Chain A
Amino acid sequence: MALLEVAGLHVKYGNIEVLHGVDLRVNEGEIVTILGANGAGKSTTLLTLSGLVKPSGGSIAFGGRPIDKLPAHVIVKLGIAQVPEGRRIFNTLTVQENMNLGAFVSKDYEQVKKTQDWIYALLPVLSERRQQLGGTLSGGEQQMLAIGRALMSRPKILLLDEPSLGLAPLLVKTIFQTLREINTTGVTIVLVEQNARAALKLAHRAYVMELGNIVLEGPSPELMANSEVQAAYLGTGSQ
């Protein structure tokens, strides 16, 4: 049984349907990436997984348990954390306060302390800037903070919405390297990306979304070799 099972997911914004029956399956320990152009419904899919957007049809099961009716704060408690699009760190709070908020659902302070030590070791730049306001960090550091903050809840699944957005190529490399490290500790990762090349290199499996539908899926190497994917997302189509 998959850790996360999405079946026939429909989402409407007002009268406009933006997801028309999305099916996704994420196994424990995997890195899965969702590729697609702007407006394909990738972010909506992630927001629905986190419970910030409610589906109009279909089902989401996490560890066999239906979660599509649950409020967002309960879903976090179950073990799904999200690094939202645009990072959305709390600008006027310190780095440490941002991290503490990431652990809002945890009651076990020893465990939180351990998790925090692990994150600060993984992302040492955060440790140096603990007392600084989140808004004073650079873009890359803010992305690190958003990732560190999400990890504070010890999630089973980490959802990331375009962590490479607006970052220099070198930083993107660092962030993806960090994601791989996180994955080796047993955290399952769902990565939404427009940077298809980097995402496919990192992920085990990938889905391609277009206009609210999944149009392709398969192991990353397979998609990387797919001529349609090459033409549309990798810019190396047959000339």
Chain B
Amino acid sequence: MEQFFQQLTNGLAVGGIYALIALGYTMVYGVLKLINFAHADLFTLGAYLGLTLLTSMALTNHLGPLWGTLLLALMVMGLIALVGALLDRVAYRPLRASPRLSAVVSALGASIFLQNTIMLVYGARFQVYPQNILPKAAIELGGLSIPVVRLMVLATSVIMMAALYLFIQKTKIGTAIRAAAIDQGAARLMGIDVNRVILMVFLVGPSLGGLAGLMVGLYYGQINFTMGWNYGLKAFTAAILGGIGNIPGAMVGGLLLGIIEAMGAAYLSMAWKDAIAFCVLIMILIVRPTGLLGERVAEKV
């Protein structure tokens, strides 16, 4: 039973990271019907920028681990949001009127460009996050010893998801985003500037992806320029699992995939971890292609 709960918390922590990345895919897909393949590389960039800021500015020395990490997270989110908006401006906006396949190819190109830029700047080797930032302690919870970092990761993703949910559901611009995802033409007839909605989506989605990158760096300690590939695929799976284009779906899908993966790794075989995740993807595509919470059939790209 202890192993079960350990894996559950572990799965939730990893799942929270998947969910944060998946939100970026699903928000962009919702409004533009485009899979932003470069999103995974924004996640990677978040991890690298986090490392650079962490080591060059020594925030955690000046402000203490908690405030230092918080400020670091805000800086990474802000920077990646800007890169996201720039990505849209350079790679997608000029193709808005073109056939969708052009934008998909542009997304693939942007992904390759970003990944290789990161490699050229930082090198191809694994880089290591300083290990003395976050507390090593574990807390006892009902006879269970859970690392504090794991809880912090889970708490951060839950807070971010709740904030995003409120933003999307309660604010005027959030409602405009939902409207534009349903029917862009009708949204424009309401006086909504769809380009502004798209910009907002490319600020919010990447900032969450960048934060996830930073969290992976802090949680696992090492990062690599190809890390976006695996996390991106998992997050994409999570988005499909929940129903792509559906924001609560991406949250549920991410957490669920994290748990399934952790349980599979624990009870079946560690080596089959990825295979299990992608089996889930295949099963979902066969049994319920719209995802758990989705209502729209995903069109082929």
Contact = CB atoms under 8 A, between A and B. Distances in A.
Contacts of B187: 101
A149 B191 contact: no
A104 B176 contact: yes
Contacts of A91: 182
A92 B179 CA distance: 9
A73 B175 contact: no
Interface residues of A, number: 26
Contact of A52 (B188, B191, B193): B188
A52 B189 CA distance: 8
Interface residues of B, number: 18
Nearest to B169: A97
Nearest to B246: A92
A167 interface: no
A84 interface: yes
**Which of B175, B183, B188, B189 has the most chain A CB atoms inside 10 A of its CB?**
B189
B189 A82 contact: yes
A153 interface: yes
Contact of A149 (B183, B190, B193): B190
B151 interface: no
A104 B191 contact: yes
Contact of B191 (A77, A84, A92, A93): A77
Contact of A73 (B182, B183, B192): B192
Interface in B163-200: 172, 175-176, 178-179, 182-183, 185-194
A84 B295 CA distance: 23
Given A84-B185, A84-B186, 5 more contacts: A52-B189, A90-B178, A90-B186, A97-B178, A150-B189
22 contacts: A50-B189, A72-B188, A72-B189, A73-B188, A73-B191, A73-B193, A76-B189, A84-B185, A84-B186, A84-B189, A90-B178, A90-B179, A90-B186, A92-B182, A93-B179, A93-B182, A97-B178, A101-B175, A101-B176, A101-B190, A104-B172, A153-B191
Interface of A: 50-52, 71-73, 76-77, 81-82, 84, 88-93, 97, 100-102, 104-105, 149-150, 153
The 9 A-B pairs at the shortest CB distance, nearest first, are namely: A76-B191, A105-B191, A72-B188, A88-B186, A73-B193, A101-B190, A73-B191, A104-B190, A104-B191
